[in-house]
Amino acid sequence: MTQHTMKHGDWARIVETRQIKKQVQPKRSTNNKFVIISLLIGFFVIAALWVYALDNTQEHQISALKKVQKERITRHFSKQFMMGSWQLYDAKFSKLDINVLIKMPTNLAMNEQQITTYIKDSICPSLGNQIWHDVNYYNLYINLFVDSPRKGIYTKCQNPNLSL
């Protein structure tokens, strides 16, 4: 058996090509990292623009209620329930909604549809009422409940400012 011997020139070329391959591979991984980082930055820029666009929709263009307006709205409903066993439990204000929670001593002898009609006709402010100036473009909800507000019946009042 004879062993094939390699000339020094052949050996040097093999070593050179291996070194070149090793040098090229780290550059590829650097390029891959660059691409991944670029994609992540692009994703965050797009997400930020999307959130910014959502903030500028009509929902967020409603001016925030002032403390005086909130007090007048709360006072309007608390006056309605000063006498008797029904009472204003709370008035909650969010970005788009005003939720008025009214606690009753017992359930009404009506089905849900009848209670909804009763709330719209009797408890919601009339369309000409001054309170709508304070409510402005917010949605006004009335919730009648006995034990817990979660178990109550919510009804949206017809806002004359929104029907224009």
68-94: pLDDT as tens digits: 999 999 999 888 877 778 998 999 998
88 and 119 in a common domain:
yes
With 80 as the cut, is the pLDDT of residue 27 above it? no
With 50 as the cut, is the pLDDT of residue 129 above it? yes
Q: Domain containing 143: what range?
A: 67-156
The answer to whether residue 49 sits within a structural domain is: yes
The answer to whether residue 45 sits within a structural domain is: yes
92 and 130 in a common domain:
yes
80 and 150 in a common domain:
yes
Q: Stretch 139-150: mean pLDDT, rounded?
A: 92
89 and 40 in a common domain:
no
42 and 96 in a common domain:
no
With 70 as the cut, is the pLDDT of residue 26 above it? no
With 90 as the cut, is the pLDDT of residue 120 above it? yes
With 70 as the cut, is the pLDDT of residue 109 above it? yes
Q: Please tell me the predicted confidence (pLDDT) of residue 13.
A: 84
15 and 85 in a common domain:
no
What is the domain count for the chain?
2
Q: State the Rg of the chain over Cα.
A: 35
Is there a contact between 140 and 159 (Cβ–Cβ < 8 Å)?
yes
Assessment of whether the complete model's pTM goes beyond 0.75: no
CA distances from 120 to 61, 76, 107, 163 (A): 27, 16, 17, 16
145 and 98 in a common domain:
yes
104 and 43 in a common domain:
no
How much of the chain exceeds pLDDT 90, in percent? Answer: 30
Provide the residue type at 110 as one letter.
M
84 and 50 in a common domain:
no
With 90 as the cut, is the pLDDT of residue 32 above it? no
109 and 132 in a common domain:
yes
Q: Please tell me the predicted confidence (pLDDT) of residue 93.
A: 92
71 and 51 in a common domain:
no
Of 69-83, 90-104, 115-129, the one with minimum mean pLDDT is: 69-83
At 141, phi and psi to the nearest 5?
-115, 140
152 and 75 in a common domain:
yes
The answer to whether residue 26 sits within a structural domain is: yes
